[in-house]
Amino acid sequence: MAAASAGAPTASGAAVSVQAVLSPHAPAAARAVPARAGQAASPRSVPSQPIPPPDQLAPSEQLPLSDQLAPPDQLPPSEQLPLPEQLPPPQQSEQSQEPGQSQPPSAAQRDVRDPWEVSLRRKKWVRWTVSWLPHRLTIGVRAALRWEHSIVAKVRQRWHRSLQLRVVGTTLVISATVIAVLGFFLTEQIAEGLLLNAEHTARTQTLAGLNAARSLSDLSQEPSSGESALRFMTTAGRELQPTNSGTTTYYVVIGLNADLARGPGFTRWLTSVNPAATLPPALVADVQQEQRAEERDGKAESLLYYAPTTLSFADGGLSEPAVAFGTPLGNWYQLYYVFPLDQEQQTLQLVQTTLVGVGIALVALLAAIASLVTRWVVLPVRHAARAARRLSAGRLEERMAVGGADDLAALSTSFNDMADSLQEKLLELEELSKTQRQFVSDVSHELRTPMTTIRMAAEILFESREQLDPAAARSAELLQSQTERFEILLSDLLEISKHDANVATLDSEPADVCDIVRRSADDAQQLAERRGCRIEFRLPAEACMAEVDRRRVERILRNLLVNAVEHGEGKDVMVTVAADRDAVAVAVRDHGVGLGPGEDQLVFERFWRADPARARTTGGTGLGLAISLEDARLHGGWLQARGEKGRGSVFRLTLPRVAGQPLAGSPLPLGPDEAEVVTSALEADLPGGARG
């Protein structure tokens, strides 16, 4: 952005400066300043230009009335605008940022959707429904669905991670299912038994009443009037009603033959219940048909008909389930018994309640037993897992408590034996590693003194090579180059021994990675000129600030550039730098021999060479990439490689902006053609183009 001009601005100048900052339609020259090639990317100010007051501008150039601002000193405190250099950046986060650092939108500002939500929104009916719903209702439904999915996800995670929960849950489901099935069949059997017992009792009572009614006088005489028929029905009903003073166990219904009841003055039913609602029509029809058959045959049978029904009273009281029995009473009358099933229903409800309570108690008991038994098994396993984690974290003295002589005790004993053996082996390896590191360090230090003497002699011979014969002069040149290479090898051995001994330190300080990249390329420029290739830079216009150790990062980039030039087959090398909120990345791309399958990991091994017959023309020791990898890890960063045979390779260094901050990703992709992709993005988005 354009900064405010130096000095005290005038009223119109301040107004125009603030408008240039606030308006998105400000010219590109006022919003961004392209950096020149080879210069550090740093914020720069635009020279101030004399701006006439608004009243002297042409009509097409005058600002709108809303954009003409009064001088800041004349505004009230609540309406004063900050100067351009005091305006906050557009997307400033809570963390402090270096100048020029890009700030992407935070996760809370982005419309992040889970995969399930994306899949749901792809359905046509969902989109159609959302288009018709109010916006507030859509937000509420979306929040409810997210809450539901989060709860389900937590339960699923807990289910998959807890063996005890899975065992107890499975036991609960299986036991509850078995008890429910058994309870259902048991309830059905009890209900059937109660009903059969009630029917047997009702049948016996009906036959006894039928025999008592047949002994009454006037049964065989046809009633001549309604009064005589009603008199007999009243007498029969009084004789057949229950005599106990307790709860009524049955109700008697005396009825007339349907043909006789059609006559004038005859009453069809004599009872205290509602016969139309209580006696099923099918039962009445069967009794009427049986009565006609007995009248036709001239002989009385003791056939009983019954049917389930609902007992209803004439006064409209509560109805209850019952069973009705009916039989002909002579040629003119009919006898019906209605037996309520309230006692059987209460007994069945008591049985069901008891079964449900016992079932719940049994399921809870089984769950408690399963939880207890599972805990006996899972608890030692959890202890073993915790001990294994502590052992893997370096606490080699961690052991499990051994109790008893069962299988779990055998597990604890085996784990302790394994830990003892592992501790012994690790101690042996540690002692061996210490011996090796000490040996390398001692040898490197001891070789420095004779190496210094040899180098002094080699320099004397090299300086006087013109006085020697050609063969001796060539020998002096070879001695000088190999002496320098040997000194580099000694330095690399000392450096790698420091990493092996975990004594390497990091002297981090805020630095511009773009400047470090340009400084590191100076050593590789001479080799590139001899090879006939160039080193191209694709650097952002803004400074890429990060807390790094300059010496170590320069060594990493120097090794990457030298390797890229050496293996680039005379083709140009491309260096790309990019940054985001959390990390800074540098990618070195060559178009040479490339890397084969699996070589992207082997390339960082010590003394590894893709082609053993290939000569080291630049004096490499075989430890450069290994040391670079250790330096990147010391920063908490990544050093990765990828390539294809015949298409070149790319090495990517990713460092956190803040020392010690974990990395979540890299601003640059890792691929053979990543440089071209990033180059096109930089040229399209950054003002002033690329630097290099």
Q: What single DSSP character describes residue 219? A: S
Q: Is the pLDDT of residue 404 over 90?
A: no
Sign of the CA dihedral with 261 first, then 267, 273, and 274 last = positive
Task: List the single range of 153-167, 196-210, 491-505 with lowest mean pLDDT.
Answer: 491-505
Residue type, 328: P
State mean pLDDT over 157-184: 88
Q: Is the pLDDT of residue 117 over 50?
A: yes
The mean of the pLDDT values for the chain is 76
Residue type, 582: D
Nearest to 338 by CA among 325, 357, 328, 352: 325
Strand order in the sheet with 269-270: 269-270, 251-256, 333-340, 320-329, 305-311
H/E segment holding residue 447: helix 407-463
C-beta separation of 229 from 265 below 8 A: no
pLDDT value of residue 338: 93
Tell me the per-residue pLDDT of 260-316, one tens digit each, with 9 for 90 and over.
888 888 888 888 888 888 999 999 999 999 888 888 877 777 788 999 999 888 777
Tokens of 378: 């899972």
Q: Is the pLDDT of residue 337 over 90?
A: yes
State mean pLDDT over 3-24: 34
pLDDT value of residue 194: 92
State mean pLDDT over 10-28: 33
303 to each of 252, 292, 334, how far by Cα in Å? 17, 13, 12
**More confident: 3 or 233:** 233
**More confident: 58 or 436:** 436
* Environment class of 648 (CB within 10 Å of its CB; exposed 0-12, middle 13-18, buried 19+): buried
Look at residue 365 and give its three-state secondary structure. helix
pLDDT value of residue 492: 72
Residues 300, 331: Cα–Cα separation, whole Å: 9
Residues 95, 661: Cα–Cα separation, whole Å: 13
Tokens of 482: 């190999």
Look at residue 664 and give its three-state secondary structure. coil
Task: List the single range of 96-105, 106-115, 253-262, 606-615 with lowest mean pLDDT.
Answer: 96-105
Count the residues in the chain.
Answer: 692
pLDDT value of residue 628: 87
C-beta separation of 230 from 267 below 8 A: yes
pLDDT value of residue 610: 62
Q: Is the pLDDT of residue 418 over 80?
A: yes
* Helix%, strand%, coil% for the chain, nearest 5: 55, 10, 35
pLDDT value of residue 32: 33
Highest mean pLDDT pick, 54-58, 228-232, 347-351: 347-351
Tell me the per-residue pLDDT of 634-645, one tens digit each, with 9 for 90 and over.
888 999 998 888
pLDDT value of residue 215: 87
pLDDT value of residue 650: 92
Whether the model clears a pTM of 0.75, i.e. scores above it, the answer is no
pLDDT value of residue 101: 39
Q: How many CA atoms lie within 13 A of 649 on its CB side?
A: 27
When computed from its CA atoms, the radius of gyration of the chain, rounded to whole angstroms, is 51
State mean pLDDT over 582-594: 90
Residues 534, 529: Cα–Cα separation, whole Å: 7
H/E segment holding residue 479: helix 470-500
H/E segment holding residue 643: strand 638-644
286 to each of 443, 483, 519, how far by Cα in Å? 120, 127, 115
Task: List the single range of 164-178, 380-394, 555-569 with lowest mean pLDDT.
Answer: 380-394
Instruction: Give the count of beta carbons closer than 10 Å to the beta carbon of residue 264.
Output: 6
Long-range contacts of 273-278 (CB under 8 A, 24+ apart): 273/311, 273/312, 273/313, 273/314, 273/338, 274/312, 274/313, 274/314, 275/336, 277/310, 277/312, 277/319, 278/253, 278/309, 278/310, 278/311, 278/312, 278/322, 278/324, 278/338
